Structure 1
Amino acid sequence: MKPKFQDDKLSTKFGSLPQEAVDEAIEQHRSLGHAIAQTDDHGNVIEIQPEDITPLAEKLKQRQQHQTNQIGIC
């Protein structure tokens, strides 16, 4: 089974402005049908196909829900 692309892996390492740029770059690659590369937990580079990348609108919705859930836990 192919691992699910964790597109927040890159963007969560940065502040909000660089995160927006990373999100937009990932979305551009997805919409153009270009693969991207990401390292796994062992440092190996894996290629992520565009169909495995979550669309940006959906990713932002998921991120908002996650943040809302985090606030509810505190």
Structure 2
Amino acid sequence: MTRHDLSVKSLRSSLATRRAARLQRQSLERQLASYTTESDRIELDAILSRHTSEETTELRSIINRQAMDRLLRSA
């Protein structure tokens, strides 16, 4: 294998990893968006409160962004 082949293989691997991460995040965003009612969000907040902030940072970021989107759409 040439050096060029290795860098192409590395690039493909990197792109595949990024694509998988993006698809996983999109799936997570869809799942979190299904919590639409106030009671759903209270339940979700109770679940998240059982975990550390490090564990829930990404989830809370998505939830907060979705809440802002809902507010902007309703205004």
Instruction: For CA contacts below 8 A with separation 6 or more, give which structure has more relative contact order.
Output: 2
Bigger share in helix: 2
Bigger share in strand: 1
Larger Rg: 2
TM-score by length of 2: 0.40
TM-score by length of 1: 0.40
